[in-house]
Chain A
């Protein structure tokens, strides 16, 4: 075999590969196209079935639902579509029936599927319908490695709100960094009020500062009126763990209102700039004009963030606070002056825009 023969062979091989790749690509594209068409057909059939039910206001019987229609993806996307066009109560009742009779059994079958999409549709289904026996399934899905499945199952776990699921969610959030936690915390907006008792109980026995900090963050989403559990924050505010200290401080400021002001004022002298900055920010939310002299002093703080938060806090306190900002002299403290001017000019533009 000469060099020429070898080169010819290599080139033929490469050309064949190119042709195979192109053919394979279009075969895959064709497969996807056919699958999408099939799903669209099923979707339309189920939609027609639901609309007929809504028109006739007739109850759903499981045997009426064809086997080929038992497709979680189609049913769930149909739910979203019909929710918008038919917000009436009969549809909500029918939806609940479909969730319990059709989606729940499918979710129980698919929650361990190899394919993450099937697991995802199972979590969405558990978010709509579950029974006590599903707790372990939801817990398993919370620990799923796929991000979407994991996040959707957190929603289901919060809806389920048993002590086991909520404690698992707390653990999941606690192991995240502060920024990553934000994505989880939003799930607690409008969550069941019973969750606060579970979180407060956890707070009483928990040792890890990061988990305790997470508990405070979650509790800040719930009103604490008529709340029987006593939360002792004093020790956490003294904690050396900054995350815990700041979370406890925010919690106290949000729930104790003006009673927290002496504490916030004392922390305005803290050696940690993060604590001083947070205290300044929280004082601005207090609405109490007696804190203005303290915030004016914080405008000259050595840390930039403290100055910025103090200036914004003064702005939030209204005309009296803004008057302090306007009075600053650049010769006395240029940094404080600049920050004040920055906040004033921004607020002026905001007023003009509105």
Chain B
């Protein structure tokens, strides 16, 4: 009897916490949605006018170096290089960093690019762990060079690339990512035209299922594989308002490592990418925020929804799990490294809004959600609440998130409309509504597992 009373109290308490938590989350997301709408509409109008390239057709503009870290990417790296060579941006250099691949990545590059061994011209601005084995220049494409080094991870490879980079701007691109022709020009334009922008991110779409040829997207399609299709829907949401909405607060704390343009000097000043962090892309952005805020330098972290790339995403449960596990550990690692920003007015909006938002929603969110699922199941088991009420409660709490997700997805459809097929749009709408039943829970459990793993590894 005592146990039952205690359990009832516990369930009431948990339910109330979850209701408040969901209200808070949905309020946060609604605010992000509201702040992102004007920017997305403006970007869309600007994009439609097709004027950006007219401002960027000059050799006077700064060179942008693409840093492409490749580890066992024999399947994709060539297509990625092809897509980069087709870029509209007039001053482009490409540095491919072969991170000690054990497959055919390097031989393929040597053959396709007609690589010739050369001598490195590398300034050791950032200490690099992996020893550089060889340095190659392409005879076929004079702007392309390759650094062959021992395997030491993506962050360390990017640092080796920064050391070899002689341009004031560089862009990180994943080896399994295709860039659209105008993407670099859009990102460079956004960065150069807005004063004090030190990093500019672009949007990412899912490549799996699309038709492409030699690094060029022929037709955007949603994959018929449920896991991939769910990710397509998820990426669409995350990159529409998850990044744009943070612009009024000097930018998001997270930009995708697949596609971000950086000012080289700013990254050198923070010591480059952190090779000890599982999520080097988030870490570098949070680090930039902390550094610039602490030095009281004027800065802005930008995001251009119009500049887009298409990336290969995990197509099975195992690889999706390990990817999300790494991302979440990266998030926790970054949050802990910069914990002094938490509600610290010295760090302005980043410390008072963006950072706490990441802690409360991205870190605690999955934990609270899992506790909620467990307590509701327990309550049903002990007959404390009726199963009908439990299901309605579940639908009601997730319903509002669905409304926001739907609004975001439709906003993307109205504006940039990457998926033109009616079948894809209907599939997206279906997925938006039904991703809350199964897919969301798998990712929630994965993130809780990642949190536990992170802290267990930290303690022991």
**Which residues of A line the B interface, CB within 8 A?**
3-4, 7-8, 10-11, 14-15, 17-18, 21-22, 25, 28-29, 32, 116-117, 120, 147-148, 151-152, 175-177, 179-180, 182-183, 185-186, 189, 304-305, 308, 337-339, 341-343, 345-346, 349-350, 352-353
Contact = CB atoms under 8 A, between A and B. Distances in A.
A187 to B, nearest CB: 9
Given A338-B120, A342-B119, A21 B410 contact: yes
Nearest to A16: B403
Interface string B367-410: 00000000000000000001011001101100110110011001
Contacts of A183: 55-56, 61, 189, 192-193
Contacts of B62: 179, 182
Interface stretch (B45-53, B66-74, B94-102, B268-276): B45-53
Contacts of A3: 389
B452 interface: no
B170 interface: no
Closest 7 pairs (CB-CB, A-B):
A341-B119, A14-B399, A304-B123, A342-B121, A186-B58, A7-B392, A345-B118
B195 interface: yes
21 contacts: A7-B393, A7-B395, A10-B399, A14-B403, A15-B399, A21-B406, A22-B406, A116-B42, A117-B45, A148-B46, A179-B169, A182-B60, A183-B56, A183-B193, A337-B119, A338-B120, A339-B119, A345-B137, A349-B137, A349-B142, A353-B142
B87 interface: no
B440 interface: no
A116 B44 CA distance: 13
A22 B410 contact: yes
Contact of B194 (A22, A29, A120, A147): A147
Contact of B55 (A15, A17, A151): A151
Given A7-B393, A8-B392, A182-B62, A349 B116 contact: yes
B414 interface: yes
Interface of B: 42, 45-46, 49, 51, 55-56, 58, 60-62, 116, 118-121, 123, 135, 137-140, 142, 166, 168-169, 189, 191-196, 263, 386, 388-389, 392-393, 395-396, 399-400, 402-403, 406-407, 410-411, 413-414, 429, 433
A308 to B, nearest CB: 6
A308 B120 CA distance: 11
Contacts of B406: 18, 21-22
A18 B407 CA distance: 8
Contacts of B118: 341-342, 345-346
Contacts of A182: 58, 60-62, 192
A21 B433 CA distance: 13
B142 A350 contact: yes
Contacts of A32: 414
Summarize A's interface: helix, strand, loop or mixed.
Answer: helix
A342 B61 contact: no
A346 B137 contact: yes
Nearest to A175: B195
Given A11-B392, A148-B46, A338 B121 contact: yes
Given A21-B410, A22-B429, A353-B142, A180 B119 contact: no
Contacts of B191: 179
Given A179-B263, A180-B192, 6 more contacts: A147-B193, A177-B196, A182-B58, A189-B58, A341-B118, A353-B139
A25 B413 contact: yes
Contacts of B196: 177
Contacts of A151: 55, 193
Given A10-B396, A179-B169, A180-B193, A18 B410 contact: no
B139 A352 contact: yes
Contacts of B403: 14, 17-18, 21
A29 B414 contact: yes
Nearest to B390: A7
Nearest to A350: B142
A284 to B, nearest CB: 15
A108 to B, nearest CB: 21
A342 B46 contact: no
A148 B120 contact: no
Contacts of A117: 45, 49
A349 B60 contact: no
A21 B407 contact: yes
A17 B403 CA distance: 7
B263 A148 contact: no
A186 B61 contact: yes
A148 B51 contact: yes
A134 B92 CA distance: 39
Contacts of A179: 62, 168-169, 191-192, 263
A338 B119 contact: yes
A169 to B, nearest CB: 15
A176 B58 CA distance: 18
B402 to A, nearest CB: 7
B297 to A, nearest CB: 11
Nearest to A14: B399
A22 B405 CA distance: 12
A180 B45 contact: no
Contacts of A185: 60
A152 B46 CA distance: 13
Contacts of B166: 308
A110 to B, nearest CB: 15
A272 to B, nearest CB: 16
A117 B121 CA distance: 47
Contacts of A11: 392, 395-396, 399
A25 B406 CA distance: 10
Nearest to A29: B414
Contacts of A350: 142
Contacts of B411: 25
Contacts of A343: 121
Contacts of A338: 119-121
A172 to B, nearest CB: 11
Given A117-B45, A151-B193, A349-B139, A25 B414 contact: yes
Q: Which of A176, A337, A345 has its CB near the most chain B CB atoms (within 10 A)?
A: A345
Nearest to B395: A11
Contacts of B123: 304-305
Nearest to B263: A179
A58 B201 CA distance: 52
Nearest to A339: B121
A11 B395 CA distance: 7
